[in-house]
Amino acid sequence: MSERARTAMILVSGAALLVLVLFAVAGLPPYGHYPGPYGDVLNTVAPHERQIPNIVTAVNFDYRGADTLGEEYILFAAIAGIALVLREDRKRTKDEPLPPSRVLHTTGRTDAIRAFGALAIAVTVAFGGYLGIHAAQTPGGGFQGGTVLSGVGVLVFFALGYRAFAKLVRKEPFEAIEAVGAGAYAAIGLATLVATGAFLKNALPLGGEGQLFSAGTIGVINLCVLVEVFAGFTLLYLEFAHETRVEEPEPEQR
């Protein structure tokens, strides 16, 4: 299709779609007046039944835990796909040393950057860990914490350099960690199926509200998610970081 034909087609279709969506949303209840009942029922029963203040976490890992399991595996499959595609022409075994590499675009890395980077890394680790562990009590959780923690990898890359990053994050242990995180979630589901007849039923002791170890399997699943998201995103950044390097040919002997 010529560019003009395509532009005409998308303009017409886009206008039509805009009108259709506006017609559709006109039928919704007015903004700010959620009618329920799903959310209201959960807000009422969850704090009591699961001893958990953060209802969003309860929904994610308990009431709608199967959705989160599926989403974990989406992350897992996507990381596998990325590794597949980007690793094609880098067939290095883990025993070989890193090849000599040349930075494609370089900015100076001063001492100030290194120092500030190290500080930022420390703060990020602490904050990410805090965010990830307190899923049941605060608006945090495995996803949020795992993503923040994986930012540590990016900080290492920028502040301390590619070599430091590649040495710190070896692909095999992280792949194993990621797989264990995902598999553990499925395994918990299977175990609860066997134990209680319902998949992902919250069968562990619930503890008191507001305590760190509370809400039964929600806490355990949250840790699995934290581990998996952290490992998965770090692997992602590693793969993309490798792409900023060019394989250099052997230096000639003069």
Partner 1 sequence: MTPEALAPLAFSVPLAVAALGAAIGPFVPRRVLDALAIATGLFCTAACVLLARAAAHGTVVHWFGGWTPRHGIALGIAFAVDPIGAALAAFTAFLTTVALLFTWTYYDESGPPFPVLMLTFMAALIGFFLTGDLFNLFVFFELMGVAAYALTAYRSEDDSAVLGAFAFGVVNSIGAFLILLGIALVYGRTGALNMAQLSHALGAHADALAILAFAFIAAGLLVKAALAPFHFWLADAHAVAPTPLCVLFSGIMVQAGLYAVARVYWSVFSGALAEHDHVLRTVLIAFGLVTAFAGGIMAFGQRHFKRLLAFSTIAHTGILVCAFALLTARGVAGMVVYVLGHGLTKGGLFLCSGILLNRLGTVDVDVLRGKLRTKPWGSVAIFLGALALAGTPPFGTFLGSSLIAHAADEIGLGWLPWVLLVAAALTGGAVLNALGRMAFGWGPPPDPRAKTPAHESPEASAGGDRGFPLMMYACSAFLIVCACAIGLVPGAASAALGAGERFVDRAGQLAIVLKEMPGAALAMPPAEPIATSLASGFLAGALALAFAAIALFAHRLPSGAGAMRALESALVPLRRIHDGVVTDYVAWLAAGTAALGTALAAWMR
Partner 2 sequence: MISFIAFAVPAWIFVAGLYGMATSRNLIHLILCLSVAQSSTYVLILEVGYRLGATAPVFGDVLPGTRAVDPVVDALTLTDIVVGATVTALLLAFALRIYKKRQTLDPEALRAMEG
Interacting residues toward partner 1 by CB under 8 A: 1, 6, 9-10, 12-14, 16-17, 20-21, 23-29, 34-39, 41-42, 45, 62-67, 69-71, 73-74, 76-78, 80-81, 83-85, 88-89, 172, 175-176, 178-180, 182-184, 186-187, 189-190, 193, 196-202
135 near partner 2 (CB under 8 A) = no
Picked from partner 2, partner 1, none, the partner binding residue 126 (CB below 5 to 8 A depending on kind) is none
Mask of contacts with partner 2, 191-230, x by CB under 8 A?
-------------------x------------------x-
Measure the CA–CA gap between 216 and 193, rounded to whole angstroms: 15
Picked from partner 1, partner 2, none, the partner binding residue 186 (CB below 5 to 8 A depending on kind) is partner 1
Region from 105-113, 115-123, 160-168, 236-244 binding partner 2, contact rule CB under 8 A:
236-244
Measure the CA–CA gap between 83 and 93, rounded to whole angstroms: 15
Q: How far is the CB of 108 from partner 2 (least distance, A)?
A: 26
Element (H, E) at 16: helix 3-25
Rounded to 5 degrees, φ, ψ at 103 are -75, 140
Element (H, E) at 161: none
Is the separation of the CB atoms in 76 and 178 below 8 Å?
yes
Measure the CA–CA gap between 247 and 33, rounded to whole angstroms: 59
Beta-carbon neighbour count of residue 12 at 10 Å?
10
Query: Distance of CA 218 to CAs 1, 62, 127, 185, 186, Å?
Result: 52, 6, 21, 11, 13
Cis peptide before 249 (omega within 30 of 0): no
Of 63 and 199, the one with the shorter C-beta distance to partner 2 is: 63
* Site of interaction with partner 2 (CB under 8 A): 3, 6-7, 9-11, 13-15, 17-18, 21-22, 25-26, 28-34, 36, 38-40, 42-44, 46-48, 53-56, 58-60, 64, 67-68, 71, 74-75, 78-79, 81-82, 85-86, 88, 137-139, 141, 143, 210, 229, 236, 239-240, 243
